[in-house]
Amino acid sequence: MQILLSQVSYWQETFSGEPRWNYALSALLILLSWIFRKLITSILLRITHRILHKWLNNEYSDEFVALLKNPISYLFQIGILYIALNFIEQPLQAVLFERIEDHHILFHIRIIDLVDHLFIFGIIYFHTVLAVRIADFIYHIRIEKANKEAASNLLQLLPMMKEIIKILIWTISFFFILGLIFHVNVPALITGLGIGGVAIALAAKESIENLFASFIILVDKPFQIGDHIKMEKMEGVVEKIGFRSTHLRLPNDHLGVVPNKKLIDEHLENLSVKELHKVQQLISLEPNLDKEQLIACIDELNIFLQNNKDIEPGGWAYFKGLQDQKLHIQIQYAFKNSNDRKIINQLKEQINLTIYSIVRTNCKNSISLSSLQ
């Protein structure tokens, strides 16, 4: 009994103004939060998943919960740490720094003040990261829907809107930090920035010109993402239209970056604005082919070209003549153009395989693998 009483008396003794058991409780709380952080985070995510499942389908709710995993874990640990430190408030009253003039304390910084400011910073940073991740999630959903609907305007607009929203989120967070942590008069600061904006605009003249050029591209639509454009010294497929520059995938598969102002000022040719993608092909056959086989082959080719739903009306095949000891069948057809080069190549491949199959069936011994051009 005396041992128990002595232990209780020991933990009740003060150290730096706080009972020893307060230090132990604070340390135990931090240790338990670190050990069980994954379990508690998992429970919070499950609750969030059940709530979101009512509004989102399984795929999107799973993705959204995955985005929240790290921010929720950080918020939990920051909150527990702040609560734990409040158990030992007395030692935290110690002054870290103070300024004295004429025996008067002008200002001082205590440890508890630093802890409070770090906690506020952590909360602001958590909400900022969370807002940015939500913006990325919404962008992901919208861009996926735009791709399915082939909405080229949205595909061009959404990346720019995402960047604008992210800049706004970080700017608002920055002003919150200035106001809540550094006690800056934010309205007065914004007014002062308005006066200094002229100097900033002059210093960033080129960047502002590129920014305005990006909006001109967005409104006038001289090209869109996926278009094949040609300039005086560069040619490629548009992959991204940003605030400052546009990214092109060059013919050698390298990435080209062009300032938006240059795209507005220079002569530019959009090679993808053709309404129809026209194709001409010449099939060469050996001269030992029978007339009946040749006619049957051409008839079957015309049936395919006229009945294929992807080919525009007017596609046809005909016997062009004998040249260089070869019989030549000319094929002409067209299909609706697409901004996606991959779609065009896949469609041409399907048509070519069908044409090859028809010729191969009707002219077994008269076609070589190099005949289809």
Rounded to the nearest integer, the mean pLDDT of the chain is 78
Residue 172: what pLDDT?
Answer: 92
Distance (Å, rounded) from C-alpha 230 to C-alpha 273?
A: 12
Residue 312 has pLDDT above 50, yes or no: yes
Q: Determine the average pLDDT of the residues in 213-241.
A: 85
Residue 370: what pLDDT?
Answer: 39
Distances (CA, A) of 19 to 8, 14, 68, 124: 11, 4, 38, 33
Q: Is domain 210-270 annotated with CATH 3.90.110.10?
A: no
Residue 288 C-alpha from the chain's centroid: 59
Q: Which residues contact 136 (CB under 8 A, 6 or more apart)?
A: 67, 162
Cα distance from N-terminal residue to C-terminal residue, the chain: 101
Q: How confident is the model at residue 27 (pLDDT cuts 50, 70, 90)?
A: confident
Q: Which residues contact 311 (CB under 8 A, 6 or more apart)?
A: 305, 333, 334, 335, 351
Residue 258: what pLDDT?
Answer: 93
Pick the CATH number of 276-372 from 3.30.1330.60, 2.60.40.1840, 3.30.70.100, 3.30.499.10: 3.30.70.100
Residue 5 has pLDDT above 60, yes or no: no
The string of DSSP codes covering 229-248 is EE-SS-EEEEEEE-SSEEEE
Distance (Å, rounded) from C-alpha 258 to C-alpha 245?
A: 5
- Tell me which of 48 and 350 has the higher pLDDT: 350
Q: Which residues contact 185 (CB under 8 A, 6 or more apart)?
A: 179
Q: 178: which strand partners?
A: none
Residue 372 has pLDDT above 50, yes or no: no
Q: How confident is the model at residue 340 (pLDDT cuts 50, 70, 90)?
A: low
Q: Determine the average pLDDT of the residues in 85-93.
A: 70
Q: 334: which strand partners?
A: 278
Q: How confident is the model at residue 103 (pLDDT cuts 50, 70, 90)?
A: low
Tokens of 75: 């918020």
Distance (Å, rounded) from C-alpha 144 to C-alpha 63?
A: 13
The string of DSSP codes covering 73-127 is HHHHHHHHHHHHHGGGTTGGGSEEEEEEETTEEEEEEEHHHHHHHHHHHHHHHHH
Three-point CA angle 267, 272, 276, nearest 5°: 135
| Token pair 């056959």: residue | 285
Quick: pLDDT tens for 146-205. 777 656 667 777 887 888 899 899 999 999 999 888 888 888 777 766 655 555 655 567
Quick: pLDDT tens for 104-152. 555 556 667 777 888 889 889 888 988 888 888 888 888 887 777 656 6
Q: How confident is the model at residue 10 (pLDDT cuts 50, 70, 90)?
A: low
Residue 34 has pLDDT above 60, yes or no: yes
What DSSP element (H or E) covers 355?
A: helix 341-362
| Residues 147 and 155: beta-carbon distance below 8 Å | yes
What DSSP element (H or E) covers 48?
A: helix 37-52
The structural domains of the chain, with segments of one domain joined by +, span 12-98+108-197, 210-270, 276-372
pLDDT over 70 percentage in the chain: 77
Distance (Å, rounded) from C-alpha 151 to C-alpha 149?
A: 5
Provide the residue type at 99 as one letter. R
Q: Residue 282: phi, psi to the nearest 5?
A: -125, 125
Task: Tell me the Ramachandran region of residue 183: left when phi exceeds 0, alpha when psi lies from -120 to 50, beta otherwise.
Answer: left
Nearest in space to 334 (alpha carbons), one of 345, 346, 348: 348
The DSSP letter of residue 88 is: G
- Please state, as a whole number, how many other Cβ atoms lie within 10 Å of the Cβ of residue 201: 11
Quick: pLDDT tens for 356-370. 888 888 876 556 433
Quick: pLDDT tens for 44-54. 888 877 777 76
Residue 257: what pLDDT?
Answer: 93
